[in-house]
Structure 1
């Protein structure tokens, strides 16, 4: 089934923005730029978005006119919109907001059992909520708070990354596995407590320079991670569990890192049974500066094809859905919309990782399609 791209998903000032993405053609995926409502194939100059982001001035690249933005589709069609990421490693930061830190401790103490969450939430909020919101991670005040929490028997590995010197940085998804706007996202079929994580995603090139930003859904399984932090891989990295898009907005004179620092995110979930959940996040409440998270990701590591970094989420849904005290969890058929005015709207429908379209286009497939295009071009 083919779904047409909704132009309302573009940033509100998209005419002044430089937007980079990827489109699947009959011969394979190509990087594109969006200019004046037209989609331009720039693969002759930049075969991948990783190559594009390494250029001194990616916004100036010339391209072959493909189609109007309205002609893009998802699921099928001659111009199928993909995630804007290709060869970049997909990394993510966790516990970068006080609210998410408290929720991770709740998961840990509840051992992944949603029925216990409400009582634990009230206790933790009363004891550590104010302190964790005001402290600067890695500071002397944070060290004193840590000592006090240890003495009170309240310490947690999640509080370590929330207020300690080292941020939590993990690998979210394999190269080329991220989905884009309109695709079905997946949660494990054996998960009973899960939620979306609406986030801003920074994109860095091979030199570690941040070149732009986009939106992401870091789908999370609260029951799995709550049972054990060692299950983080199963909680985070599953088929169709990472969505990014709709486009990367490249940094320029009119949009930069300060716009990321001050970004506002809105989340709307519409369930098949008529349920609706709304949430809001403000990036100015993040506990570590976005560039500090980039620095820690690059510390003693290299990314020769660049990387994308999820910056973490303030959103932690506690609104009950079916049963009092159990909070929120996804149902198949949920439609998740993540919106930020200057980045656009990322929309995805929820299914299970088993039922989502299998990921079957890997790095070798990309290389083969590129080789075939070059051969045709002579």
Structure 2
């Protein structure tokens, strides 16, 4: 579940203590929390996060197999478990950054969130759009020509605007401290009947705007809710346990860089209690906007993030494999086990539940500050 090498940092819950920053040394999970870096936000804001982690003294807590065995969706509030590798950072996301998912967003919009209409609209959009979107540079003259053609065919969409126009779609996925980690339940709002996982690379960005590492994420998506209206994006994207991250952040060092992320091949596997299995992939080489550009459009003189941010980069995965009625494509069933993996970043596994059945989010920023103060770390 973890990459074979690299400088790794994550967060766990230590019974009787609370949130702890950890690194992995062999099979040992080592607590490196201290006054120099009481939070992951503070650690990632250091000049050399990888060097700090590599040289940090710490306390062995448990073995990696012990931690993974304890990290289940039924873990209690003071049980040992993985946490999402983010604390004070804003959790942001980029949308419509791949051609395949861009077309599916147009289909959702045209279908007004009705999965029964999706296949017929998919065929119509495919006839006009086809492969014309692949390789387009957003904001380029060629992109503007494609916009003109689609407008004349009455297929222009707000999703195509952010997909091939000059401005990226950047939104808030969830509040700080709300994401869940490896082994936890991920939540679907109970109003949804058409939804899917979104396997993504997630960038760890300092308050200076430096990309210092990356992890994996599931940007859980409600296709029917957003399909009814893009103004329902918040309802579609931000619900209890609707964002997962992990298992760890792999920090950039001499052996791992942004160029490695640009070549990342993210795999997805969904295994249902009904025997259904779906596999998919998302190649970062197919992304329409470079990760560095996404970060530059998120943080800068126009918008600051003093505690840093985590940025989902988007996905090219478009789930069209039928699970139920023909032509209606994929939707989750409760109990689905979702595994998102990439050799350089490891594997993130979660079980799908309704957001009303996943554990309530109760440990927020205030609770973290009180906890750290009580431990003499701030």
Say whether 1:24 aligns with 2:13: yes
Provide the rounded CA distance (Å) in 2 between the counterparts of 1:294 and 1:178.
Answer: 20
Structure-to-structure mapping, 1:174-189, within 5 angstroms = 174-189=175-190
Tell me the secondary structure at the aligned position of residue 182 of structure 2: coil
Partner of 1:4: none
Tell me the secondary structure at the aligned position of residue 132 of structure 1: coil
Q: How many residues align?
A: 365
Partner of 1:227: 228
Say whether 1:273 aligns with 2:262: no
Partner of 1:83: 84
Provide the rounded CA distance (Å) in 2 between the counterparts of 1:39 and 1:57.
Answer: 21
Shift of 1:38: 1.7
CA displacement 1:264-309 (0-9 Å, x = unmatched): 0111101111111111111100001010001101141001000000
- Maintained 8 Å contact 1:31/1:49: yes
CA displacement 1:81-109 (0-9 Å, x = unmatched): 11111011000000000011100000000
TM-score when scaled to structure 1? Answer: 0.94
- Selected match of 1:57 from 48, 61, 78: 48
Provide the rounded CA distance (Å) in 2 between the counterparts of 1:78 and 1:185.
Answer: 18
Name the stretch that deviates more: 161-170 or 52-61.
52-61
Provide the rounded CA distance (Å) in 1 between the counterparts of 2:244 and 2:362.
Answer: 16
Provide the rounded CA distance (Å) in 2 between the counterparts of 1:291 and 1:62.
Answer: 32
Provide the rounded CA distance (Å) in 2 between the counterparts of 1:78 and 1:350.
Answer: 20
Tell me the secondary structure at the aligned position of residue 47 of structure 1: coil
- Maintained 8 Å contact 1:205/1:307: yes
CA displacement 1:42-69 (0-9 Å, x = unmatched): 2113100001111223333222222222
- Maintained 8 Å contact 1:186/1:356: yes
- Maintained 8 Å contact 1:84/1:248: yes
Provide the rounded CA distance (Å) in 2 between the counterparts of 1:95 and 1:288.
Answer: 10
- Selected match of 2:65 from 55, 65, 70: 70
- Maintained 8 Å contact 1:339/1:345: yes
Structure-to-structure mapping, 1:47-196, within 5 angstroms = 47-58=38-49, 59=53, 60-72=55-67, 73-74=70-71, 75-76=75-76, 79-196=80-197
Partner of 2:2: 10
Structure-to-structure mapping, 1:197-276, within 5 angstroms = 197-276=198-277
Partner of 2:347: 345
Structure 1 spans left out of the alignment, 5+ residues? 1-8
Q: CA RMSD in A?
A: 1.3
TM-score when scaled to structure 2? Answer: 0.94
Tell me the secondary structure at the aligned position of residue 323 of structure 1: coil
Say whether 1:357 aligns with 2:349: no
Tell me the secondary structure at the aligned position of residue 374 of structure 1: coil
Shift of 1:37: 2.2
Provide the rounded CA distance (Å) in 2 between the counterparts of 1:129 and 1:365.
Answer: 51
